[in-house]
Structure 1
C-alpha cells in the first residue's frame, strides 16, 4: 500500500516504521494541509483535533480510504459518516487502535452489564497520558464511559467534575512519558473491583492502525475496530 500519514508526530513516525516493516511505502507524511492525496492508496490520520475533520473530508472527497485515530473532533463525526456514505467511500475511526484496548472495551461492556444493578458500587474511570496529549479526557476513556453509561439508567453522561450528579466521573491525568493507562473502578464499602489496561509503548496503537488500513483497502462503508478484529 501507498500510505499518506496525515499527522507526522511521534505516533506518525511509529506508524511509518511498522508500515515499512510490513512491506508498505509512505508517500505523504505531513503536519500541514497542503498535500496531494491522490498519490496515496489509503490515508492514516493521527493529526490534531482541529485538523482531523478536514483531513478526513479531503480524503473522502478524493475517493481515498481513510483511517483516523485522532480524538477530540467527534462533534463532526456524523458529518464524516454522511460524507463517506454519500461518496461511497471507506472510513474507520477508533478512539484506540490497540488490539488489547479493544478487548478491554469488550471486558468493560460485559462488566458494566453485570454491575449496573448492584447499587452498592460506585463506578469511576481514571486515565493517564503523556503531557503532549491535547484532549482530556482521552477518546479511549470516553469510549469506556459510553459503554458503562448505556447500562446505567441513572447516568446521563460523564464529567471531569468528581461529584457531579447523574454523571460518571472521569479523572484525567497528564504525566511525562506515559503512553496510556486506563482504569475502570467499581468501589463499595466492602471491596473494590478494578479492570485496567496499561500501554507500554505506542507500537500497539500503531500496529493496529496499519492492520486496520490493510483491512479497509478495497472495501466500502463506515467500519470500526470490531469489524477489523471480528469482535461480535
Structure 2
C-alpha cells in the first residue's frame, strides 16, 4: 500500500520502519496539516499527532477520500463529527485508543471481569495508568476505554473521573514517570484481598504494528470501525 504518515514523532518513525518491512511504501511523512498535494495519492493515512492537531488532520484526509487510522488521544469530543464525515465523504475511519493486540485482548477481558464483578458488593474498583512524562493527555485514551468497558458492564458506575473512585464515578489515577511506554491496571479490592488485571507494554512496537495491521485491513472499506472489527473480537 501507499501510506501517508500524518504526525512524524516517535510513533510515526516506528510505524515507518514496520510498514516498510511489511512491503508498504511511505509516500508522505507530514508534520504539517495534510493537503491533496502532500498526501501524494496515499491509499491510507496513519495519524499519530497531537490532541490539538488531530481533528484538522483527519478532516483533511477524509475530505480527500483517504481512509484514516487514528491513534491520537485527547480530542474525542469531536469523534462523532469525524465519523459522520467519513460516511459523508464515502471514506473510512478507525480510531484506536491503543492498537496493541495485547491491549485489545485486555479490553475484552476487562469487560468480562466487570460483568462478573457487578453483583459482588464486597469489592471496590479503581483504575491506574502509568505513562512517560512526555504524554500530553491524562488519563490516557486506553484508560478511558478500559473505564468505558467497566461502566458498560457494571451498573454501579455511570461515569469516570480523574483520581479516586467515589460513589458512581469510577476513578482513574494517572501517573507520569520516566520513559514508561504504558502500564494499565484495574484493581478490585475488598477488606481481605485484591484482584488485579494488568497490561504492561515493554516498548512502542506493539502499538505501531497494530496500526499498520489496521491500515492493511481498512483498505477499500467504507464506514467507521474499531480494532474489534480488525481482530474479530
- TM value normalised by structure 2: 0.96
**Residue of structure 2 in register with 1:10 after alignment:** 10
Would you say 1:99 and 2:91 are equivalent positions?
A: no
Tell me if structure 2 keeps the 8 A contact 1:95–1:140: yes
| Pairwise CA distance, 1:150 | 1.6
Deviations 1:33-65, CA, capped at 9 Å, x for gaps: 154224311100000111111111111110101
Residue correspondences, number: 231
**What CA distance in whole angstroms lies between the structure 2 residues aligned with 1:109 and 1:152?**
9
- SS of structure 2 residue aligned to 1:26: strand
Tell me if structure 2 keeps the 8 A contact 1:7–1:47: yes
Would you say 1:118 and 2:120 are equivalent positions?
A: yes
Query: For 1:177, which of 176, 179, 188 is the aligned residue?
Result: 179
Structure 1 stretches (4+) deviating beyond 3 angstroms? none
- SS of structure 1 residue aligned to 2:153: coil
Question: Cα RMSD over matched residues?
Answer: 1.1
| Pairwise CA distance, 1:148 | 0.5
Would you say 1:226 and 2:228 are equivalent positions?
A: yes
Query: For 1:161, which of 160, 163, 178 is the aligned residue?
Result: 163
Tell me if structure 1 keeps the 8 A contact 2:33–2:60: no
Tell me if structure 1 keeps the 8 A contact 2:74–2:141: yes
Give the gaps of 5 or more residues in structure 1.
none
